[in-house]
């Protein structure tokens, strides 16, 4: 059996930072990722990030990814790509399948789950027609594969993902016909909606897609106004000439491995639904398993990186790699950054939701 | 139609909304050179504008969700904050570049880029074309990290309304 101090599952911002922090403390770390490339979401994010200088704000996501990979390399962190983690047994064994055929069991003293989140679907008549896709899929097409999913796009959902992907579709040369949002108010940061709006894209709050029309591909979308109870108002339907519908209706934490391993769950609607319970150090109800990033509650790359550092630090400390004083200093610093990121009109809700998770008894 | 709160319903802030925010400062005709104008009116965790400014003309402070505040007296109009802002929420403006023309320098991340001397459609916050403008400079330097800054002049009557230009068609 392969043995490692710490196995990190997922090489997005959370997983990379967890591995870096733990390796800096001296632990022997292995990262596994089912993708052919490391970086998780980061390499799709061609825009400059928010946050403070400590979080590399103003730097594009792709460049943050490159930086983290370089650090990981310098620390000799081992990375297994094309490696899917399929299960966790006895709290310390990770069963992985490499290159879709070789089964390997890794004995890990500590496991850090940084598996990210999955896109939510929205269904309406016609939603199975080619041309309906997740906003994340559209983003992969334009920013990784450099192909446009279509020429005339309708975006469903006005959260940051919906507006950022809309902006990137415009940059890639598509027309974005509209952004529809069922809620009465737009979800994304005003500065993001503003740059999409000044490009001439209309926003429809309190509206949803009733139906996608077409035979073998989308030819148009029917949009309708919603009443206060979110019921379509008859007679308010209108048709938009689109060939693609992108859905950005939120993300759900990728919790399968955590729950399969037996981690206790907590419900946190603000953070995407059921998440593994964890304490401030990112430890779950199973003492050898830690989590970080979107899997512990959907937030942002900046928070994912800090949570990753916290998980890596705590896991390394629990293995005796850190002096108490050094651990305390780092803990305080990371915690401070997390609190700063979770403030303001958008952050406060997440701060409260995280507090509630930590406060929910371990059971 | 400019009386309601529009940022959270139509995507862009109305002038009424901006004028109600003390952090939004539009330089008047007394300013002799372009200075930064910031339209960032929501408390988001962000401060690259502050760290980018070499003369400390922008303050966010230790609470990173504070709104950025500009001291236009200090601003030299260097444009570093314009390129650093991930929200593309900053531009430079001068009301009287000439008697009849105002000056703007805004971030632009679309291709193709306009050419110097080209006549372009200037847009307001809602993407409506409000007038024509003439491109004076296209600045694309390494420090701006792939965000171009377009300098243009346009009729002074549209001084406050213009914030950017319309995307150009791809060949
Ligand atoms: C359009 C868009 C714009 C965004 N803009 C910003 C922004 O401006 N600023 C910001 O801070 N954040 C932004 N974010 C959010 C940010 O990208 C995510 O919050 C962040 O990537 C989460 O990091 P993570 O490491 O938890 O997960 P991810 O980046 O999703 O990484 C998870 C990794 O785990 C791997 N994995 C999952 N399951 C398994 C398994 N069973 N076995 C092996 N590997 C597995 C995946 O392959 C993936 O590589 C944006 C997100 C989107 C979609
Ligand atoms: S334009 Fe230059 S001097 Fe003025 S606020 Fe921006 S960075 Fe500072
Ligand atoms: S960098 Fe831009 S988005 Fe960020 S606080 Fe400054 S003005 Fe606002």
Is B71 within 8 Å of chain A by CB? no
pLDDT for A222 = 98
Question: Which of A82, A111, A113, A116 has most ligand 1 atoms within 8 Å of its beta carbon, as the pocket-test mutant?
Answer: A116
Residue B87 lies in a domain: yes
Residue B100 lies in a domain: yes
Residue B171 lies in a domain: no
DSSP string for chain B: --SS--HHHHSS--HHHHHT-TT-----TT--S-EEEE---S--SB-HHHHH-TT--EE--SSTTSPPEE-TTT-----HHHHH-TT--EEEEES-SSSSEEEEEEEE--SSPP-TT-EEEEE-TTS-EEEEEEEEEEE--GGGTT-EEEEEEEEGGGTTT--EEPPPPP-
The alpha-carbon gap from B120 to the nearest alpha carbon of chain A, in Å, equals: 14
* Total domains present in chain B: 1
Residue in chain A lying closest to B84 (CA): A58
Residue B170 lies in a domain: no
Q: Do B110 and A192 count as a contact with CB atoms less than 8 A apart?
A: no
Q: In the predicted model, what is the mean pLDDT of residues A286-304?
A: 96
Residue B153 lies in a domain: yes
B120: containing domain: 3-165
Q: Do B65 and A347 count as a contact with CB atoms less than 8 A apart?
A: yes
Is B2 within 8 Å of chain A by CB? no
B82 alpha carbon to ligand 1 midpoint, in Å? 28
ipTM of the complex: 0.96
Encode pLDDT of B50-67 as tens digits. Answer: 999 999 999 998 888 899
- When CB atoms are compared, the residue of B41, B87, B109 closest to A171 is B109
pTM of the model: 0.92
Whether residue A346 has pLDDT greater than 70: yes
More confident residue, A362 or B103: B103
Residue nearest to atom 6 of ligand 3 (CA): B49
Question: Tokens representing A3?
Answer: 């043995």
Residue nearest to atom 33 of ligand 1 (CA): A10
Residue B137 lies in a domain: yes
Q: Do B11 and A48 count as a contact with CB atoms less than 8 A apart?
A: no
pLDDT for A362 = 61
Encode pLDDT of A188-199 as tens digits. Answer: 999 999 999 999
Encode pLDDT of A127-177 as tens digits. Answer: 999 999 999 999 999 999 999 999 999 999 999 999 999 999 999 999 999
| Residues pairing with B105 in the sheet | B92, B151
Is A51 within 8 Å of chain B by CB? yes
């Amino acid at each position: 059996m392969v043995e490692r101090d710490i196995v990190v599952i997922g090489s997005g911002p959370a997983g990379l930072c967890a591995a870096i922090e733990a390796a800096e403390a001296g632990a022997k770390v292995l990262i596994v990722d089912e993708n052919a490339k490391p970086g998780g979401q980061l390499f799709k994010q061609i825009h400059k990030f928010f946050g403070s200088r400590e979080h590399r704000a103003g730097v594009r996501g792709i460049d943050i990814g490159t930086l983290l990979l370089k650090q990981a390399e310098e620390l000799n962190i081992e990375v297994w790509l094309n490696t899917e983690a399929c299960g966790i047994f006895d709290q310390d064994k990770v069963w992985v399948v490499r290159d879709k055929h070789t089964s390997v069991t890794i004995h890990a003293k500590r496991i850090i789950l940084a598996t990210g989140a999955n896109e939510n679907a929205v269904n309406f008549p016609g939603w199975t027609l080619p041309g309906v896709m997740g906003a994340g899929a559209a983003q992969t097409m334009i920013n990784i594969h450099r192909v446009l999913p279509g020429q005339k796009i309708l975006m469903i959902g006005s959260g940051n993902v919906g507006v950022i992907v809309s902006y990137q579709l415009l940059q890639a040369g598509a027309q974005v016909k509209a952004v529809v949002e069922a809620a009465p108010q737009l979800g994304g940061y005003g500065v993001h909606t503003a740059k999409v709006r000044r490009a001439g894209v209309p926003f429809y709050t309190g509206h949803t897609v009733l139906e996608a029309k077409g035979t073998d591909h989308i030819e148009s979308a029917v949009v309708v106004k919603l009443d206060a109870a979110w019921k379509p108002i008859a007679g308010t339907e209108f048709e938009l000439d689109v060939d693609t519908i992108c859905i950005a209706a939120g993300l759900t934490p990728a919790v399968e491995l955590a729950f399969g391993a037996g981690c206790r769950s907590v419900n946190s609607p603000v953070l995407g639904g059921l998440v593994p319970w964890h304490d401030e150090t990112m430890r779950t109800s199973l003492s050898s398993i830690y989590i970080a990033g979107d899997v512990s509650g959907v937030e942002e790359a900046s928070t994912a990186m800090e949570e990753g550092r916290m998980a890596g630090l705590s896991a390394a400390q629990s293995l005796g790699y850190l002096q108490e004083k050094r651990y305390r200093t780092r803990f305080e610093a990371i915690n401070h950054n997390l609190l700063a990121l979770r403030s303001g009109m958008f952050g406060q809700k997440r701060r409260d939701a995280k507090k509630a998770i930590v406060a929910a008894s371990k059971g | 139609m400019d009386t309601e709160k529009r940022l959270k319903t139509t995507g862009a802030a109305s002038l009424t909304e901006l004028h109600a925010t003390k952090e939004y400062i539009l330089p008047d005709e007394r300013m002799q050179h372009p200075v930064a104008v910031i339209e960032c009116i929501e408390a988001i965790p962000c401060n690259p504008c502050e760290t980018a400014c070499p003369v400390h003309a922008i303050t966010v402070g230790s609470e990173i969700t504070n709104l950025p505040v500009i001291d236009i007296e200090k601003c030299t109009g260097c444009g570093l904050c314009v390129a650093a802002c991930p929200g593309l929420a900053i531009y430079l403006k001068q009301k009287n570049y000439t008697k009849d023309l105002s000056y703007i320098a805004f971030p632009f991340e679309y291709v193709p880029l306009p050419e110097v001397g080209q006549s372009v459609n200037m847009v307001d916050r809602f993407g409506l074309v409000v007038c024509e403008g003439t491109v004076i400079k296209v600045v694309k330097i390494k420090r701006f990290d792939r965000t171009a800054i377009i300098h243009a002049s346009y009729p002074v009557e549209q001084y406050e309304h213009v914030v950017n230009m319309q995307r150009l068609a791809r060949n």
